[in-house]
A and B are shown apart, each in its own frame.
Chain A
Amino acid sequence: MSDTAEHTEAAEPVLTFLEKVHAKAEQDQVDGKYAAFEKIEDVGIDQGVARLTPEKIQKTINGVLKGECGTRMKTYVETCVHCGLCSDACHHYLSNDKNPKYSPVGKVKRTIWNMLDKDGKLTPEECREAVIVAQTECNLCRRCQQFCPFGIDIAYMISTVRRISFKLGITPQYIQDTANSHSVTMNQMWVKDDEWPDTLQWQEDEGRDEIPRLRIPVDKEGADFMYSVIAPEPKFRTHLINQAAVIFDQAGCDWTMPQLPGWDNSDMAMFTGDFETMGRVKKMHYEVAQKLRVKKIVMGECGHAFRSVYDVGNRWLGWRMPPIEMVHSIEFFAQLFREGRIKLKDKYPEQVTFHDPCNTVRGRGLHEDGRYVANLLTQGVVEMSPSKLYNYCCNAGGGVINCGPPWKTKRVLSNKIKAEQLARMKDRGINTIVSPCHNCHGGLEDIIHHYGLEMELKFLGDLIYELMEKPGAVE
Chain B
Amino acid sequence: MHAFYNLVSGPLVWVAFAIFLIGSIWKVFSLLSGTKKKDGYVFTYWSWGHAIQSYIHWLIPFMSENSRQQPLMSVMTFLAHLGIVLVPIFTMGHIVLLEEGALGLSWIALPDQVADYAAWAVIAGCCFFAYRRLVLPQVKFVTSCSDFVILAIVVAPFLTGAMAYHGWGDNLLMTSLHMLSGEIMLVAIPFTKLSHMLTFWYTRGYTASEFGAVRKVYDW
User: Are A103 and B204 neighbours in the complex by a CB distance under 8 Å?
Assistant: no
Q: Within 8 Å of chain A (Cβ to Cβ): is B94? A: no
Q: Within 8 Å of chain B (Cβ to Cβ): is A406? A: no
Rounded to whole angstroms, the CA-CA distance of A88 and B41 in the bound complex is: 30
State which residues 3-42 of B face A: CB under 8 Å. Answer: 30-31, 34-35, 37-39, 41-42
Which residues of B lie under 8 Å from residue A88 when comparing CB positions?
66, 69
User: Are A109 and B142 neighbours in the complex by a CB distance under 8 Å?
Assistant: yes
Are A150 and B196 CB-contacts (below 8 A) given A89-B66, A100-B140? Answer: yes
User: Are B142 and A76 neighbours in the complex by a CB distance under 8 Å?
Assistant: no
Q: What's the dominant secondary structure at chain B's contact region?
A: helix
What does the 1/0 interface line of B48-76 toward A look like (CB < 8 Å)?
Answer: 00000010001000001110011001000
What does the 1/0 interface line of A270-291 toward B look like (CB < 8 Å)?
Answer: 0000000000000000000000
What does the 1/0 interface line of B67-102 toward A look like (CB < 8 Å)?
Answer: 001100100010000000000000000000000000
Rounded to whole angstroms, the CA-CA distance of A109 and B138 in the bound complex is: 12
Residue on A nearest B209 in the bound complex, by CB: A151
State which residues 60-90 of A face B: CB under 8 Å. Answer: 69-72, 74-76, 78-79, 81-85, 87-89
Which residues of B lie under 8 Å from residue A105 when comparing CB positions?
138, 142
What does the 1/0 interface line of A148-188 toward B look like (CB < 8 Å)?
Answer: 11111100000000000000000000000000000000000
User: Are B204 and A151 neighbours in the complex by a CB distance under 8 Å?
Assistant: yes
Q: Within 8 Å of chain B (Cβ to Cβ): is A470? A: no
User: Are A98 and B203 neighbours in the complex by a CB distance under 8 Å?
Assistant: no
User: Are A79 and B142 neighbours in the complex by a CB distance under 8 Å?
Assistant: no
Residue on B nearest A311 in the bound complex, by CB: B214
User: Are B31 and A75 neighbours in the complex by a CB distance under 8 Å?
Assistant: yes
Which residues of B lie under 8 Å from residue A106 when comparing CB positions?
138, 141-142
Rounded to whole angstroms, the CA-CA distance of A320 and B58 in the bound complex is: 27
What does the 1/0 interface line of B204-220 toward A look like (CB < 8 Å)?
Answer: 10111011001111111
Q: Within 8 Å of chain B (Cβ to Cβ): is A390? A: yes
User: Are A151 and B34 neighbours in the complex by a CB distance under 8 Å?
Assistant: no
User: Are A83 and B217 neighbours in the complex by a CB distance under 8 Å?
Assistant: no
Which residues of A lie under 8 Å from residue B202 when comparing CB positions?
75
Rounded to whole angstroms, the CA-CA distance of A361 and B217 in the bound complex is: 8
Query: Of A71, A84, A362, which one neighbours B136 at CB under 8 angstroms?
Result: A84
Shortest distance in angstroms between B212's beta carbon and chain A's nearest beta carbon? 9
Chain B interfacial residues counted at CB < 8 A? 52
Which residues of B lie under 8 Å from residue A98 when comparing CB positions?
137-138
State which residues 100-153 of A face B: CB under 8 Å. Answer: 100-101, 103, 105-106, 109, 145-153
Which of the listed residues A75, A98, A389 has the most CB atoms from chain B within 10 Å of its own CB? A75
Rounded to whole angstroms, the CA-CA distance of A79 and B217 in the bound complex is: 24
Rounded to whole angstroms, the CA-CA distance of A72 and B147 in the bound complex is: 22
User: Are A79 and B215 neighbours in the complex by a CB distance under 8 Å?
Assistant: no
Shortest distance in angstroms between B4's beta carbon and chain A's nearest beta carbon? 32
Rounded to whole angstroms, the CA-CA distance of A93 and B138 in the bound complex is: 9
Which residues of A lie under 8 Å from residue B210 when comparing CB positions?
153
Shortest distance in angstroms between B61's beta carbon and chain A's nearest beta carbon? 11
Query: Of B132, B139, B143, B207, which one neighbours A151 at CB under 8 angstroms?
Result: B207
User: Are B196 and A100 neighbours in the complex by a CB distance under 8 Å?
Assistant: no
Residue on A nearest B30 in the bound complex, by CB: A71
Rounded to whole angstroms, the CA-CA distance of A83 and B141 in the bound complex is: 10
User: Are A151 and B203 neighbours in the complex by a CB distance under 8 Å?
Assistant: yes
Q: Within 8 Å of chain B (Cβ to Cβ): is A252? A: no
User: Are A82 and B41 neighbours in the complex by a CB distance under 8 Å?
Assistant: no
Q: Within 8 Å of chain B (Cβ to Cβ): is A364? A: yes
Q: Within 8 Å of chain A (Cβ to Cβ): is B165? A: no
Rounded to whole angstroms, the CA-CA distance of A310 and B210 in the bound complex is: 12
Q: Within 8 Å of chain B (Cβ to Cβ): is A365? A: yes
Query: Of B37, B45, B138, B215, which one neighbours A103 at CB under 8 angstroms?
Result: B138
Q: Within 8 Å of chain A (Cβ to Cβ): is B168? A: no
Which residues of A lie under 8 Å from residue B140 when comparing CB positions?
100
Shortest distance in angstroms between B34's beta carbon and chain A's nearest beta carbon? 3
Residue on B nearest A68 in the bound complex, by CB: B38
Residue on B nearest A390 in the bound complex, by CB: B65
User: Are A146 and B219 neighbours in the complex by a CB distance under 8 Å?
Assistant: yes
Q: Within 8 Å of chain B (Cβ to Cβ): is A51? A: no
Q: Within 8 Å of chain A (Cβ to Cβ): is B195? A: yes
Which residues of B lie under 8 Å from residue A362 when comparing CB positions?
211, 215, 217
Query: Of A74, A82, A84, A145, which one neighbours B207 at CB under 8 angstroms?
Result: A145
Which of the listed residues B139, B193, B216, B220 has the most CB atoms from chain A within 10 Å of its own CB? B139
User: Are A150 and B204 neighbours in the complex by a CB distance under 8 Å?
Assistant: yes
Shortest distance in angstroms between B209's beta carbon and chain A's nearest beta carbon? 10
Which residues of A lie under 8 Å from residue B69 when comparing CB positions?
88
Q: Within 8 Å of chain A (Cβ to Cβ): is B44? A: yes
A-B contact pairs, 13 of them (CB 8 A): A71-B38, A72-B206, A75-B202, A78-B199, A79-B199, A82-B144, A109-B141, A149-B64, A149-B77, A320-B45, A362-B211, A362-B217, A365-B215
9 smallest beta-carbon distances between A and B, as pairs: A70-B38, A151-B207, A71-B34, A100-B141, A365-B217, A84-B139, A365-B216, A87-B138, A84-B138
Further contacts, 6 of them, CB under 8 A, given A71-B31, A79-B196, A389-B217: A71-B30, A76-B203, A85-B70, A87-B138, A101-B141, A109-B142
On A, residues with C-beta under 8 Å from B are 69-72, 74-76, 78-79, 81-85, 87-89, 93, 98, 100-101, 103, 105-106, 109, 145-153, 311, 315, 320-321, 361-365, 389-390
